[in-house]
Structure 1
Amino acid sequence: MPSLDSVLACLDLNIDRSVARLMELLRIPSISTDPAYAGHCRSAAEWLAKDLSAIGFEAAVRPTPGHPMVVAHDGPEGAPHVLFYGHYDVQPVVPLELWEDDPFDPKLKEMPDGTKRLTGRGTADDKGQLMTFIEAARAYKAETGGLPCRVTVLLEGEEESGSPSLNPFLDANKGELKADIALVCDTNMWDGETPAISTGLRGLVGEEVTIHAANQDLHSGYFGGAAANPIRVLSKILAALHDDNGRVTLPGFYDGVQELPEEVKKIWDGLGFDPAAFLGSVGLSVPAGEKDRAVLEQLWSRPTAEINGIFGGYTGEGFKTVIPAEAFAKVSFRLVAGQDPDKIRAAFRAFVEERLPADCTASFSPHGGSPAIQLPFDSPYLDTARAALSTEWEKPAVMIAMGGSIPVVGEFKSRLGMESLLIGFGLGDDRIHSPNEKYELKSFHKGQRSWARVLDAIGRMR
């Protein structure tokens, strides 16, 4: 009877064919943000739907107000059901002169150390990643005649341009897309030998605040000392956002924030992360966050407040002795599980208004707000996937978190009531969004084998 071993052997035997298929997809310049490439985005969606149909999926290109979605279904009814998400659109390629080769003429290059890599736009973000899953499904069906679990595939064409059509599409197709767990491939490994599952994503609140004082800019010789200076007022308020230990001082800011489980803390401590090298790579040396927290905790599991921009008055060439009528700042808060974006926004506005002196007022403009996502550490899907990945790679899979946000994961949670496993095989030096993007052949090959193992293991969770 065919087994997982035969599926893995099939993937090994057909690696050249899978590389050729990926290169065919990579040659389609599916740049979603530029209307001139709309036809190419459509072509990429059609290519993927045709490929999925060829291996037995019920696949279709589904229209949206923007670029189309690809939706496909296969696998036995009644089995565990997964929703696999990826995106076929890519970033623009400018500045073109910095590319070593045509970004849409992919190459397989052998490096001086004997390793091989795929080069070209979309290799790592996200065509190479999504094709690891499709190739795993192809081999599984070729060897066993079917899939070990129910699989729905959702491939988006607007991820790199803000996903304007995603939420309406999810709302309109909830019944079709909801599964037991979502699988998201748009992430990295910890290093070239250590697979990773990202269990947490920080949320985000953005605010722009304006401090208003006089009804016009003032001459600093005539009014200096007597007139309120909104830059000084704003600077004092922003400086009060943190105490001397790096903690955020907004009342209630840490309400709901949970301590990191000791098991996870031990895993992170064992990753070999070097704070000095991390900060040294950008010309810094001393961690500036909460003094009683390790740097990885600061990056992955603690909330933050950051001033992203501050401006007012004369900022041009030369000098102008003016007291401005207004001063502005852009402030963002990275949130962790348990924090309410609306409460954080309200707390910040109250914090500012309580510190306004006479003759000054404040106005605010919101710039997005989303909660953090945390996969339960006791999730059976997490344990199953971690064991499957650990069997494939040189080192055991680790649970990590991400300081940034992947919006689709939050939408799956809020709109479909579905948790996500973030499993990808990219590396930190893949140069995504930059010239000379690449994807290691090892990532592509072992990524296929990894997904075969994960699908097999989830299929056994009956």
Structure 2
Amino acid sequence: MSISQQYIDENKDKFVEELFELLRIPSISTDSTKKDEIKKAAGFLIEKLNELDLERVELFDTPGNPIVYGEHCPYDDRPTVLIYGHYDVQPSDPDDLWDTPPFEPTVKDGLIYARGASDDKGQAYTHLKALESYVKSGEPIPVNVKIILEGEEEIGSPNLVPFLEEHKAMLSCDMVLISDTAMFDKDTPSITYGLRGLAYMEVEVTGPNRDLHSGVYGGAVENPANVLCEMIAKLKDEDGVIQIPGFYDDVIELTGADREAYTKLPFDEEAYKKSLDVKALHGEKGYSTLERSSARPTLDVNGLWSGYQGEGAKTVLPSKAGAKISMRLVPDQHPKKIAELFAKHFKSLAPDTVKVEVREHHGGHASVTDLDFYGLKAGADAFEDIYGKPALFSREGGSIPIVADFKKVLGVESILMGFGLTSNAIHSPNENFSLKDFHRGIKTSARFLELLPEYS
């Protein structure tokens, strides 16, 4: 065992205590009243980076939340790794569904329960402690490292791309290391090599100029809630195939290698259905469940509103109805193009009895990393050395738009080395992260940095 790995074992309790300090800070980026907490979290990370004796540590102000930056680049002949993570978190509500206070970390059955435990404070912090294991044990960090930690990921990273473009030379690197994804299952390490993109829309259908009595006006005036439901129903066919003209024009089909990789994943469809308490699954014909949920484009209603929502009955014919609709995208679908196709088609579905408004919220490109990239191979071997099992390669259905931005702006691949699980309840009450995987994550990160020069 190397000195750095020994240091990690000897200091794992200290690392957990430090993580708890960070988790206690309610750095909620969607809440404008939490600006001081955002600054506090950024300050905590600056303090921890300063303890690593890096060549450069700096807090960059943005029009939004600050960006934490660190740098240690002593080598001319070794790779440079840019470590990315985020210190902002989702709101904790509904707080009454938490079994423990969301910002008071609690350990139960080997799991840390707290908002941000897995997404992304716990996972991002593994890399800082991996660097510490080298610095404090007296071993030199094996490669050049740069660290960027942002406070706006949960609101779409509005200031990160401008920051990347403005500081392109400073951020020059050979790859980006990100831990903001999940392993395939417990004790089965996996590297995510593909993410879907996103186009997020909001629609509103308006009928009469005010809510009406359904008994007096029903049958004479079009009900926008009914119309909205009918319009949404026409967006997909019975097999889930999206009916927007041009939607699939740019879709890159799965290759034979892609589909073979899926067959190696230990997926139990019956257990999957049982965990969701559903009798059957649904989606495009000709694709497996995993393929449909991670490598095919989708369209889903995320929210619906209209009419009376209170207790009891109120016989109202609503004036308006609305929905939030997300579309997950695959290479090479462009979110702006898809948003335009959606808006044009959705408006074409409306009868002349209503008015329709379509708003685009935000989006991002899909990304796929070349399976032959040497950084992926080093990451896989690091996982196997620490977890004792070969790492699997999988694509994920979620979106991390910044991965595509790193490729576009910096021209480099990203390694998605997640230590969490899909069962970590991220964005939900009772978010959690395994103590064991927090510890193994630190060791895997340190091992990755050690192996990387051998593969470059």
Q: TM-score w.r.t. structure 1 length?
A: 0.84
User: 1:46 is matched with which residue: 37, 43, 46?
Assistant: 43
Report the AA paired with residue 85 of structure 2. G
Q: Map 1:223-302; keep pairs closer than 5 Å.
A: 233-302=227-296
Report the AA paired with residue 448 of structure 2. V
Q: How many residues align?
A: 453
Question: Cα distance, 1:24 vs. partner?
Answer: 4.0
Unaligned runs of 5+ residues in structure 1 are none
Q: Map 1:308-347; keep pairs closer than 5 Å.
A: 308-310=302-304, 318=313, 320=315, 322=317, 328-347=322-341
Are 1:80 and 1:461, in contact at CA under 8 Å, matched by a contact in 2? no
Specify the SS of the correspondent of 1:125: coil
Are 2:58 and 2:68, in contact at CA under 8 Å, matched by a contact in 1? yes
Q: Percent identity?
A: 41
Deviations along 1:381-428, one digit per CA (max 9) or x if unpaired, are 223322322232132111222222123323323433333211121123
Aligned equivalents of 1:356 and 1:38: distance in 2? 42
Aligned equivalents of 1:438 and 1:358: distance in 2? 50
Aligned equivalents of 1:205 and 1:182: distance in 2? 24
Report the AA paired with residue 409 of structure 1. V
RMSD: 3.3
Report the AA paired with residue 7 of structure 1. S
Are 1:183 and 1:421, in contact at CA under 8 Å, matched by a contact in 2? yes
Deviations along 1:173-221, one digit per CA (max 9) or x if unpaired, are 2221232211111222122211121122211223334456677778888
Alignment partner, residue 365 of structure 2 = 371
Report the AA paired with residue 140 of structure 1. Y
Question: Cα distance, 1:231 vs. partner?
Answer: 5.2
Aligned equivalents of 2:57 and 2:329: distance in 1? 37
Q: Map 1:57-456; keep pairs closer than 5 Å.
A: 57=54, 58-78=56-76, 79-94=78-93, 103-106=102-105, 111=109, 116-143=110-137, 145-211=139-205, 233-310=227-304, 318=313, 320=315, 322=317, 328-357=322-351, 362-456=356-450
Alignment partner, residue 15 of structure 2 = 18
Aligned equivalents of 2:214 and 2:113: distance in 1? 57
Structure-2 change in CA distance of 1:411 and 1:315 (3 Å)? same
Which shifted more, 54-63 or 137-146? 137-146
Report the AA paired with residue 81 of structure 1. T
Question: Cα distance, 1:257 vs. partner?
Answer: 1.9
Structure-2 change in CA distance of 1:315 and 1:412 (3 Å)? same
Are 1:276 and 1:285, in contact at CA under 8 Å, matched by a contact in 2? no
Structure-2 change in CA distance of 1:51 and 1:192 (3 Å)? same
Structure-2 change in CA distance of 1:77 and 1:14 (3 Å)? same
Aligned equivalents of 2:355 and 2:19: distance in 1? 57
Structure-2 change in CA distance of 1:347 and 1:459 (3 Å)? same
Report the AA paired with residue 265 of structure 2. L
Specify the SS of the correspondent of 2:424: coil
Larger radius of gyration: 1
Report the AA paired with residue 305 of structure 1. L
Specify the SS of the correspondent of 1:176: coil
Question: Cα distance, 1:328 vs. partner?
Answer: 4.2
Are 2:363 and 2:401, in contact at CA under 8 Å, matched by a contact in 1? no
Are 2:135 and 2:141, in contact at CA under 8 Å, matched by a contact in 1? yes
Question: Cα distance, 1:281 vs. partner?
Answer: 3.1
Question: Cα distance, 1:144 vs. partner?
Answer: 5.7
Which shifted more, 215-224 or 80-89? 215-224
Are 1:84 and 1:154, in contact at CA under 8 Å, matched by a contact in 2? yes
Specify the SS of the correspondent of 2:44: helix
Deviations along 1:88-118, one digit per CA (max 9) or x if unpaired, are 2344455556655555554556x4xxxx444
Alignment partner, residue 56 of structure 1 = 53
Aligned equivalents of 1:98 and 1:356: distance in 2? 39
Specify the SS of the correspondent of 1:376: coil
Report the AA paired with residue 297 of structure 1. E
Specify the SS of the correspondent of 1:305: strand
Specify the SS of the correspondent of 2:296: coil
Question: Cα distance, 1:335 vs. partner?
Answer: 0.8
Are 2:81 and 2:177, in contact at CA under 8 Å, matched by a contact in 1? yes
Report the AA paired with residue 132 of structure 1. T
Q: TM-score w.r.t. structure 2 length?
A: 0.85
Question: Cα distance, 1:276 vs. partner?
Answer: 3.2
Specify the SS of the correspondent of 1:18: helix
Structure-2 change in CA distance of 1:371 and 1:119 (3 Å)? closer
Structure-2 change in CA distance of 1:47 and 1:331 (3 Å)? closer
Aligned equivalents of 1:35 and 1:207: distance in 2? 23
Are 1:75 and 1:148, in contact at CA under 8 Å, matched by a contact in 2? no
Unaligned runs of 5+ residues in structure 2 are none
Question: Cα distance, 1:230 vs. partner?
Answer: 5.2
Aligned equivalents of 2:150 and 2:402: distance in 1? 10
Structure-2 change in CA distance of 1:53 and 1:321 (3 Å)? closer
Structure-2 change in CA distance of 1:330 and 1:445 (3 Å)? closer
Which shifted more, 277-286 or 76-85? 277-286
Aligned equivalents of 2:304 and 2:31: distance in 1? 31
Structure-2 change in CA distance of 1:303 and 1:105 (3 Å)? closer
Are 2:307 and 2:316, in contact at CA under 8 Å, matched by a contact in 1? no
Question: Cα distance, 1:164 vs. partner?
Answer: 4.3
Aligned equivalents of 2:45 and 2:222: distance in 1? 62
Are 1:87 and 1:158, in contact at CA under 8 Å, matched by a contact in 2? yes
Structure-2 change in CA distance of 1:220 and 1:397 (3 Å)? same
Report the AA paired with residue 83 of structure 2. F
Structure-2 change in CA distance of 1:158 and 1:367 (3 Å)? closer
